[in-house]
């Protein structure tokens, strides 16, 4: 409310000053237009269908202008006051380009023709519209005009409107050397207004400490609710790659290029958004550190045993294990008292166990071992002692041993190694272990060891966590970080993880973070690749919905990027054997059958439930189409899993026109900052060169406000 009053006061002041000025340009020879004082009026921003949309500016190139464009577009003037005329056009057509302060759904345009003396009235016009300074579309072609006022239908969203008419006397006008109009008024229609939300964008432009990031997501630390308009007392923001350090306020140049991989922000409602926002990272401004490190997922950690990194397929024990994958196997530092454990999270019937031995240094591979299963009484009982054949380095290799486990039902298993194939015996090593359940379904197990070697090679020194979306469940924050490692020509995602962080007094206890492997990155039989965690929506917190699930969205990369969705009960969130994936008809347990729901999504996105307003009861998917297109778009569905409508373009990003070597990506809605009638959407801005990134104005989130007009 206060923001709207300030804007209205500024507009009114500008119009009053314009009405009183006496520095109007001299009239052209042959036609004199005398500027008249305009009575001040109160003009409200257009928000309801039928309102007048205020014109921000009027541009006329390649012509001589008689009159004052600012006086012509004055919203308080009468249609008989301060007309405008053009002459001496050097092209075939005159173009009058009107610009608004945002994108507006225009119903129509009332065009008042030349009312003065002379044959200057326009005969016919065409109308072009666009939401950006280029890419105009024609909506009206050679419409004849009345002698006084003509209502011109537009029925399109536009930020720019061009009136186009011939420069030929007698064709473009009624015969004189001037071409004149008395007034142009634009009327708001139903649809969506899109405005740059500068207050929010500037709150994330900082000149010391935290000074820009991407990968922004927001969460309700009060009660975890995620629907549009949910109340909160404290918000969490998470970010991925973040610059830390001072920048010059006079030249906007970073004084240091220190970059860490993840940070946090907290927002508590205050007088301004910027005042209520604080940022958190480990270490100091001079020596900043990540809050979340990839150590659990790299080196020779036992978690490697139950992930799919290094496999050529993820849907079957027929997978073959490569030895070029870095940090894909387990190795110990000790020779005695070693055991490996595998938790299925719940008691399940088993089919078989499959083991791949170490094929990097086969002499370290386990030779004999005992396999044990936990009984319903809590003890472990032996299932037998087995010999695991030695692998070769001629990778990729199939499994070396399959163990029949029909009739075994358990929630946890252990492997106790006895010896290896090395004569000097310094390490135990193992490649992968896979368990199947009923009907051969691949089960997910969390693997651990009493001892692991935490060495890493040079490539793994680049390992880092990129924070995807997450969810607040009770007093825990869950996140889906992706594990990224550099390869010679690009970075590669090696797996989707899960982190669990306690929440105490509205803050994350990041030093108590627990990490887990997941099966949420998979390869399909046709060569596609699935990733989950790009967006999360928790419907279990919404009291008016009979839906107890958390929906986790992902994407399938195959001939484009397609939306996919999984769901799980909140109490089973860490149990990936309880997750189900939508196959186009129903939710079932096989991730590889995930159906593509809509093509053209981004690697970060949002799906938000709308509890009231024009889209009541619907689900809004927000993306940047095809990740990097600059097209901020939405689609709608009646259920969390579709079918989704075709994309509706809301906005085209313009940072690439403002700064060199920049690109935009990964749009999403922030439902907690939104209301039923006003949606807040962010997108990321980045640059292709380090030189460009030295400009602190580039690398930080941008926001737009989408206002719904019934």
pLDDT band at 17 (very low <50, low <70, confident <90, very high): very low
CA nearest neighbour of 399 among 351, 377, 431:
431
Cite the beta strand spans of 388-463 per DSSP E: 401-404, 409-420, 429-430, 432-436, 442-443, 446-449
Across the range 131-142, mean pLDDT stands at 97
Per the structure block, which two tokens stand in for 380?
């472990």
Burial (CB < 10 A; 0-12, 13-18, 19+), residue 543, is exposed
Residue the block writes with tokens 């998470």: 238
DSSP code for 511: G
d(CA 275, CA 281) in angstroms, rounded, equals 18
The radius of gyration of the chain from alpha carbons, rounded to an integer in Å, stands at: 32
In three state form, how does the secondary structure of 138-188 look? EEEEEEECCCCEEEEEEEEEEEEEEEEEECCCCCCECCCCCEEEEEEEEEE
Query: Where in the chain are the domains?
Result: 2-189, 196-293+458-709, 299-449
The CATH number given to 2-189 is: 2.60.120.260
First and final C-alpha spacing in the chain: 20
On the question of a common fold for 196-293+458-709 and 299-449, the answer reads: no
Q: Can you name the residues that pair with 606 across neighbouring β-strands? A: 622
pLDDT digits (tens, 9 = 90+) for 37-64: 999 999 999 999 999 999 999 999 999 9
pLDDT of residue 18: 37
Query: 299-449, superfamily in CATH?
Result: Galactose-binding domain-like (2.60.120.260)
pLDDT of residue 25: 44
pLDDT of residue 181: 99
Q: Can you name the residues that pair with 95 across neighbouring β-strands? A: 164
pLDDT digits (tens, 9 = 90+) for 684-695: 999 999 999 999
- Give the angle 642-647-653 at the CA atoms, nearest 5°: 135
pLDDT band at 489 (very low <50, low <70, confident <90, very high): low
pLDDT band at 277 (very low <50, low <70, confident <90, very high): very high
Per the structure block, which two tokens stand in for 667?
């749009």
pLDDT digits (tens, 9 = 90+) for 298-352: 989 999 999 999 999 999 999 999 987 667 899 998 778 899 999 999 999 999 9
pLDDT of residue 486: 79
User: What are the backbone angles phi and psi of residue 70, rounded to the nearest 5°?
Assistant: -65, -40
Handedness of CA 417, 419, 422, 425 (dihedral sign): positive
DSSP per position, 70-90: HHHT-TTS-TTSS-EEEE--S
Regarding pTM above 0.75, the answer is yes
Q: Is 341 in a helix, a strand, or coil?
A: strand
> How many CA atoms lie less than 13 Å away from 655 in the CB half-sphere?
26
Q: Can you name the residues that pair with 683 across neighbouring β-strands? A: 702
Mean pLDDT over the full length of the chain: 94
Contact 533, 552 (CB under 8 A): yes
Contact 671, 472 (CB under 8 A): no
d(CA 50, CA 186) in angstroms, rounded, equals 9
Q: String of b and e for 185-219 (b: at least 16 CB within 10 Å)?
A: bbbbbebbbbbbbeebbbbbbbeebbbbbbbbbbb
pLDDT of residue 462: 85
Among 16-25, 244-253, 487-496, 580-589, whose mean pLDDT is lowest?
16-25
pLDDT digits (tens, 9 = 90+) for 387-427: 999 999 998 999 999 999 999 999 999 999 999 999 777 88
Contact 301, 332 (CB under 8 A): no
Pick the CATH number of 196-293+458-709 from 1.10.3470, 1.10.1740, 3.40.50, 2.115.10: 2.115.10
pLDDT of residue 327: 73
- Give the angle 661-664-669 at the CA atoms, nearest 5°: 165
Q: Is 117 in a helix, a strand, or coil?
A: coil
pLDDT of residue 435: 98
- What distances in angstroms separate CA 161 from CA 21, 135, 151, 708, one per listed residue? 27, 12, 15, 21
Per the structure block, which two tokens stand in for 505?
């007094």
pLDDT digits (tens, 9 = 90+) for 422-465: 977 788 999 999 999 999 999 999 999 999 988 776 668 889 99
- Give the angle 616-709-654 at the CA atoms, nearest 5°: 105
Q: Rounded to the nearest 10 degrees, how much is the dihedral formed by the CA atoms of 446, 447, 451, 453?
A: -100
pLDDT band at 26 (very low <50, low <70, confident <90, very high): very low
User: What are the backbone angles phi and psi of residue 69, rounded to the nearest 5°?
Assistant: -60, -40
């Amino acid at each position: 409310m206060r923001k709207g009053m300030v804007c209205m006061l500024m507009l009114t002041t500008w119009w009053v000053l314009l009405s009183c000025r006496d520095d109007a340009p001299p009239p052209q020879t042959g036609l004199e237009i005398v500027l008249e004082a305009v009575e001040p009026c109160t003009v409200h921003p257009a928000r309801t269908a039928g309102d007048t949309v205020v014109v921000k500016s009027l541009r006329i190139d390649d012509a001589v202008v008689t009159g004052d464009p600012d006086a012509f577009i004055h919203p308080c003037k009468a249609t008989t006051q301060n007309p405008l005329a053009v002459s001496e056009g050097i092209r075939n057509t005159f173009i009058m380009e009107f610009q608004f302060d945002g994108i507006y759904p225009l119903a129509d345009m009332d065009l008042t023709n030349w009312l003065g003396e002379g044959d200057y009235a326009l005969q016919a016009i065409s109308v072009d519209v666009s939401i950006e300074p280029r890419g105009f579309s024609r909506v009206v072609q050679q419409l004849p005009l009345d002698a006084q006022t003509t209502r011109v239908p537009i029925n399109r969203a536009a930020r720019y409107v061009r009136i186009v008419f011939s420069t030929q006397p007698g064709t473009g006008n009624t015969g004189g050397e001037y071409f004149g109009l008395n007034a142009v008024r634009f009327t708001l229609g139903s649809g969506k207004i899109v405005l740059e939300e500068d207050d929010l964008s500037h709150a994330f432009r900082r000149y010391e400490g935290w000074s820009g990031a991407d990968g922004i997501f927001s969460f309700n630390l009060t009660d975890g609710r995620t629907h549009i308009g949910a109340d909160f007392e404290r918000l969490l923001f998470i970010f991925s790659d973040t610059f830390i350090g001072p920048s010059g306020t006079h030249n906007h140049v970073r004084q240091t290029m220190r970059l860490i991989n993840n940070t946090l922000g907290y927002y508590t409602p205050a007088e301004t958004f910027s005042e209520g926002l604080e940022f958190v990272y480990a270490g100091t401004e001079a020596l900043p550190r990540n809050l979340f490190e990839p150590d659990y997922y790299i080196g020779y950690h036992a978690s490697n045993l139950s992930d799919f990194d290094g496999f050529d397929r993820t849907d079957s024990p027929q997978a073959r294990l490569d030895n070029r994958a870095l940090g894909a196997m387990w190795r110990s530092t000790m020779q005695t008292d070693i055991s490996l454990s595998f938790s299925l999270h719940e008691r399940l019937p088993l089919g078989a166990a499959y083991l791949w031995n170490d094929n990097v240094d086969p002499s370290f591979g386990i030779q004999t071992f005992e396999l044990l299963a936990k009984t319903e009484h809590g003890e472990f009982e032996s299932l037998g002692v087995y010999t695991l054949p030695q692998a070769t380095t001629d990778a990729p290799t199939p499994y070396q041993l399959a163990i029949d486990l029909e009739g075994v039902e358990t929630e946890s298993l252990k492997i106790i190694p006895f010896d290896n194939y090395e004569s000097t015996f310094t390490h135990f090593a193992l490649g992968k272990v896979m368990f199947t359940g009923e009907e051969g379904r691949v089960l997910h197990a969390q693997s651990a060891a009493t001892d692991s070697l935490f060495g890493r090679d040079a490539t793994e020194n680049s390992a880092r966590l990129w924070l995807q979306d997450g969810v607040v469940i009770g007093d825990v924050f869950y996140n889906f970080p992706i594990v990224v490692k550099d390869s010679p020509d690009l970075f590669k995602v090696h797996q989707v993880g899960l982190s669990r962080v306690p929440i105490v007094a509205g803050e994350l206890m990041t030093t108590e973070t627990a990490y887990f492997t997941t099966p949420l990155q998979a390869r399909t039989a046709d060569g596609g690749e699935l990733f989950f965690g790009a967006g999360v929506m928790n419907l279990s917190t919404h009291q008016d919905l009979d839906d107890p699930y958390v929906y986790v969205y992902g994407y399938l990369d195959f001939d484009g990027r397609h939306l996919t969705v999984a769901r799980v009960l909140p109490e089973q969130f860490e149990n990936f054997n309880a997750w189900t994936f939508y196959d186009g008809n129903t939710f079932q347990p096989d991730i590889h059958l995930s159906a593509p729901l809509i093509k053209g999504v981004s690697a970060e996105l949002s799906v938000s439930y709308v509890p009231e307003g024009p889209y009541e009861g619907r689900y809004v998917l927000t993306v940047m189409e095809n990740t990097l297109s600059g097209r901020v778009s939405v689609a709608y569905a009646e259920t969390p899993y579709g079918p989704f409508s075709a994309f509706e373009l809301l906005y085209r990003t313009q940072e690439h026109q403002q700064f060199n070597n920049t690109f935009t990506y990964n749009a999403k809605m922030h439902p907690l900052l939104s209301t039923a009638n006003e949606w807040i959407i962010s997108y990321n801005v980045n640059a292709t060169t380090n030189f460009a990134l030295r400009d602190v104005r580039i690398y930080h989130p941008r926001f737009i406000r989408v206002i719904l007009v019934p």
